[in-house]
Amino acid sequence: MSEIMETLIRRGFLWQSFEIYGGMAGFIDYGPLGNGLRRRIEDLWREFFVVNERAVEIDTPTVCVEDIFIASGHATSFTDVAIECKKCGRVFRADHYIKEKLGIEADETIESVKEIVESFDLKCECGGEFDEPKPFNLMFETKIGPGKGKKGYLRPETAQGIFIAFKRLADYFRDRLPFGVAQIGRAYRNEISPRQGVIRLREFNQAELEFFVHPKEKTHPGFDTYANDRVRLVDKNGNEYDLTLKEAVEKGVIINQILAYFIGKTRRFLLKAGIDDARLRFRQHRDDERAHYASDCWDAEAFTSYGWIEVVGIADRGDYDLSSHSRFSGEDLSIFVPFSEPVKVRRKKIIPKMNKIGPAFRQKAKKVVEMLSSIEAKDADYVELDIDGEKVRVDREFFDIQEVEEEIHGEKVVPHVIEPSFGLDRITFAVLEHSFDKDIVDGEERRVLRLKRWVAPVQVAVLPLLSKGDFEAKAKEITVMLKAAGIFTEYDDSGSIGRRYRRFDEIGTPFCVTVDHQTFEDNTVTIRDRDTTRQIRIGLDELIPALKELLSTEKDISEFGVIFKE
RNA sequence: GCGCGGGUAGUCUAGUGGUAGGACAACGCCCUUCCGAGGCGUUAGCCCGGGUUCAAAUCCCGGCCCGCGCACCA
């Protein structure tokens, strides 16, 4: 096990779930410190992507009815048909294997695959025979209600909950684009073989923003904030760039401004959370790599001991989701966008003659009228309509054509959605790896977790220099005071002072406050800085404001007192 | 899912069939005027199940978990 994983487990950041029953791959517990860190990162995310965005946050169920995933494409895109070799045990996605070996496009059904495998006597690469094709789906299936119940799935992404509630949300935003809706929560994927510890989990934490925009306005008013940020980019053909976002948009490396905006914002967020800029890049998905719903996608990747790992995906999902849900549910999921001024158009309009259509077409009359009104009028002797698959000829005697002038006030638009989707577990892990460091203090090696001050799970430790009654009482008093001020504080009197400093270095606590002999003479304590191990002395009455400022900035302790120990 | 290698205290590790040992950590006491000091003491372990054997951490079989390679990763 790597040194850092050993530290994370031993000190209570995370560990494998269900340990006493043998464990299960793909699940982890967050211990006290890991949970604290992840929560801080979530709060930071909320600052960036909800509070300082035209966006709101919602919370929707993790258990979802089946219909959602039939519409979203997950039920089919997910239920791949797999074939397994009886001899060597290798599993292939049937349609891919058939295409590769036979050049045939196979339907993604058991029957179709079975038929092809049998009629072509398809064998495995090793020469072995294939077992019966069977489906595998990466969603966890469940049952809602008693008895046979209704089929449900645990959500594979939080996003669907947002698309489903689109009408309510558009209403909440009073039908004004653009707007964003965020959700932070758990999602589930029944991975075939989860590996790499915390990197591929079966139950994981996502923070997703669905940002709805007008399809013709893929810009963002906040772009200037990040326009001059320099970013490492790798496009879908593997070309590498080091450009400002402004240049990237101008050169067409990033196809539109809003994707560039979210790449910039994502980068700033990741840096603030503690990702190392030198170990961060943005990589565009190759054409064969994108999800079924995405038209373009840029991943933020962090370099870790597992190599480059995806921590954020920023996808242009187009109108894929809203259109599908609209089609499957029958609900209108568009937004009426008014023109700045009404447009006058002259057009020829078909006016159905009700009194003639009724008797002639009888039951079909209603549909005939509906269709006639919806098509463009031509000066023809008849029109042909397709009613429920049947061609129906409607002659000129059944309608008039009138030239009318209409005012059009706007248009219905199905918004496009830009989705920055964050894997919080991977980000948390990458932050831990990028923060992990070793240095030499007084000739001895020290492990130190250089977490950003504002994400540290324990922000301040209060330590009595000696384990004596009056030192301890004073330190406990200060602990209570700091906690009451909202600072995450711990008290520790176990072992020598040096040992305690090391303990807090290892869990990334930025500052230690020590009660020493002088405390009892002039009511001062010392503040020790984790990164430099330097100390200042400060009056107890100034302690809270000084710590609060230190914890929310990267100021040096020397701005708050004289360094007395290097 | 397949193949190879692993699984001994919180962590790391010794132990090739005969009473499971150490280091670090943790906890208690002593000592102690600022960076893993020292002394004394304490807690704590053979992944699970089956088999072979008088006797299994050790040998065999199955499972679970971990690592690596292949496959998979919408």
Q: What are the two backbone dihedrals, phi and then psi, of residue A96, each rounded to the nearest 5 degrees?
A: -65, -45
pLDDT band at A31, cuts 50/70/90?
Answer: very high
In the prediction, which pLDDT does A359 show?
Answer: 67
Mean pLDDT of A407-417: 91
Give the C-alpha separation, A269 to A49, whole Å: 9
- Average pLDDT score over residue span A18-32: 91
User: Gap from A494 CA to B26 C1', in Å?
Assistant: 10
- Identify whether A68 is part of a domain: no
Q: What is the CATH number of the domain that holds A376?
A: 3.30.720
Does residue A345 sit in the same domain as residue A313?
no
**In angstroms, rounded to a whole number, what is the distance separating the alpha carbons of residues A208 and A46?**
10
Q: How far is the CA of A541 from the C1' of B28 (A)?
A: 36
Strand B nucleotides where any atom sits below 7 Å of a protein CB: 1-3, 7, 10-12, 25-28, 31-37, 47-48, 63-68, 70-74
User: Closest nucleotide (CA of A297 to C1')?
Assistant: B74
Determine the pLDDT at residue A113.
75
Instruction: Categorize the per-residue pLDDT at A107 as very low, low, confident or very high, splitting at 50, 70 and 90.
Output: low
Residue A23 belongs to some domain of the structure: no
In 3-state terms chain A splits into helix, strand, coil percentages (rounded to 5) of 35, 35, 30
Least confident of A53-67, A108-122, A365-379: A365-379
Q: What's the CATH number where A476 sits?
A: 3.40.50.800
Question: Is the pLDDT confidence value at A105 over 80?
Answer: no
CATH assignment of the domain containing A262: 3.30.930.10
The three-point CA angle A91-A97-A98 to 5° equals: 135
The confidence score (pLDDT) of residue A190 equals 86
Helix (H, G, I), strand (E, B) or coil at A53: coil
Q: What is the pTM of this model?
A: 0.87
Strand partners, A437: A448
- A309 falls in which pLDDT band (50, 70, 90)? very high
pLDDT tens-digit map of A491-521: 999 999 999 999 999 999 999 999 999 999 9
The residue whose CA lies nearest the C1' of nucleotide B47 is A22
Are residues A202 and A27 in contact, defined by beta-carbon separation less than 8 angstroms? Answer: yes
**What's the Å distance between residue A563 CA and nucleotide B19 C1'?**
59
d(CA A189, CA A157): 9
pLDDT at position A122 is 78
Greater model confidence, A398 or A563: A563
- For the record, the structure tokens of A319 come out as 């109108």
Please state the rounded mean pLDDT for residues A389-399.
70
Q: Which nucleotide is nearest to A136 (CA to C1')?
A: B72
Q: What is the pLDDT of residue A1?
A: 66
Is residue A146 one of the residues assigned to a domain? no
Residue A163 resides in a domain: yes
Q: What is the dihedral of CA A262, A266, A269, A270, to 10 degrees?
A: -170
A89 or A2: which leads in pLDDT: A2
Q: Which nucleotide is nearest to A293 (CA to C1')?
A: B74
Å: A233 CA to B52 C1': 62
A514 shares a domain with A384: no
Q: For residues A177 and A283, state if they share a domain.
A: yes
Q: Greater confidence, A192 or A387? A: A192
Residue A120 and residue A88 share a domain: yes
Kindly give, in sequence order, each residue whose CB lies less than 8 Å from that of residue A460, ignoring residues fewer than 6 positions away: A482, A487, A488, A489, A490, A509, A510, A511, A512, A513, A547, A551
Q: Which residue's C-alpha is at the least distance from the C1' of B28?
A: A494
Nucleotide minimizing C1' to CA distance for residue A199 = B73
Q: A388 pLDDT exceeds 70? A: no
Picking from A380, A413, A446, the residue at the C-terminal end of a domain is: A413
My answer on whether A164 and A279 are in the same domain is yes
User: What is the mean predicted confidence (pLDDT) over A525-539?
Assistant: 96
Read off the pLDDT band of A273 (50, 70, 90): very high
**Cα separation of A493 and A344, whole Å?**
81
Between A334 and A83, residue with greater pLDDT: A334
Protein CA at A21 to nucleotide C1' at B53, angstroms: 30
Which segment of A301-310, A398-407, A466-475, A484-493 scores lowest on mean pLDDT? A398-407
Element (H, E) at A4: helix A3-10
A317/A315 Cα distance (integer angstroms): 6
Determine the average pLDDT of the residues in A268-280: 97
Residue A15 lies in a domain: no
Task: Match 């005071």 to its residue by tokens.
Answer: A481
Q: How far apart are CA A446 and CA A423, in angstroms?
A: 31
* Domain identity same for A490 and A539: yes
Task: Give me the pLDDT at residue A22, please.
Answer: 86
Pick the closest to residue A199 from A189, A211, A212 (CA basis).
A189
A70 assigned to some structural domain? no
**First-residue to last-residue Cα distance in chain A:** 35
Residue that the structure tokens 């990164």 belong to: A531
Last residue of a domain, which of A422, A450, A471? A422
- Are A442 and A377 in contact by the 8 Å Cβ rule? The answer is no
Q: In this structure, is residue A428 part of a structural domain?
A: no
pLDDT tens figures, A148-180: 788 899 999 999 999 999 999 999 999 999 999
Q: Measure, in angstroms, how far nucleotide B70 C1' is from residue A291 CA.
A: 24
**Same-domain check for residues A166 and A55:** yes
Give the per-residue pLDDT at A256.
93
Query: Residue A20 CA to B57 C1' — how many Å?
Result: 19
What's the confidence (pLDDT) of residue A294?
86
Is-contact A97 A125, C-beta < 8 A? no
Note whether A124 and A84 are within 8 A (CB): no
pLDDT value of position A129: 73
Task: Let me know whether A492 and A530 are in one domain.
Answer: yes
Q: Give the domain range for residue A106.
A: 80-136
Classify burial at A146, counting beta carbons within 10 Å of its beta carbon; exposed 0-12, middle 13-18, buried 19 or more: exposed
End of a domain among A369, A400, A422? A422
Q: Are A69 and A154 within 8 A, CB to CB?
A: no
- Closest C-alpha to A69, from A2, A160, A180: A160
- CA of A200: nucleotide with nearest C1': B73
Is A36 domain-assigned? no
Dihedrals phi, psi of A277, to nearest 5 degrees:
-55, -35
Q: Of all residues in chain A, what percent carry a pLDDT higher than 90?
A: 64
Residues A368, A515, single domain; the answer is no
CA A201 to C1' B65, in angstroms, rounded, equals: 15
Claim to verify: residue A57 and residue A204 sit in the same structural domain: yes
8-state DSSP, A202: S
Regarding whether A163 and A52 lie in a shared domain, the answer is yes
Least confident of A181-185, A399-403, A404-408, A546-550: A399-403
Query: What is the count of structural domains for chain A?
Result: 4
A118-122, A251-255, A275-279, A286-290: range with lowest mean pLDDT: A118-122
In this structure, the answer to whether residues A129 and A241 fall within a common structural domain is no
